[in-house]
Amino acid sequence: DAKTTQPPSMDCAEGRAANLPCNHSTISGNEYVYWYRQIHSQGPQYIIHGLKNNETNEMASLIITEDRKSSTLILPHATLRDTAVYYCIVRASTGANSKLTFGKGITLSVRP
Partner 1 sequence: AAGVIQSPRHLIKEKRETATLKCYPIPRHDTVYWYQQGPGQDPQFLISFYEKMQSDKGSIPDRFSAQQFSDYHSELNMSSLELGDSALYFCASSLRENTEAFFGQGTRLTVV
Strand 106-111 versus strand 61-64 pairing type: unpaired
Q: Does 104 bind partner 1 (CB under 8 A)?
A: yes
DSSP 31-64: EEEEEEEE-TTSPPEEEEEESSS-EE-SS-EEEE
Binders of partner 1 among residues 21 to 80 (CB under 8 A) are 34, 38, 41-46, 49
Q: By rule CB under 8 A, what count of residues binds partner 1?
A: 25
> What's the min distance (Å) between Cβ of 13 and partner 1?
27
Q: Which residues bind partner 1 (CB under 8 A)?
A: 34, 38, 41-46, 49, 87, 91-105
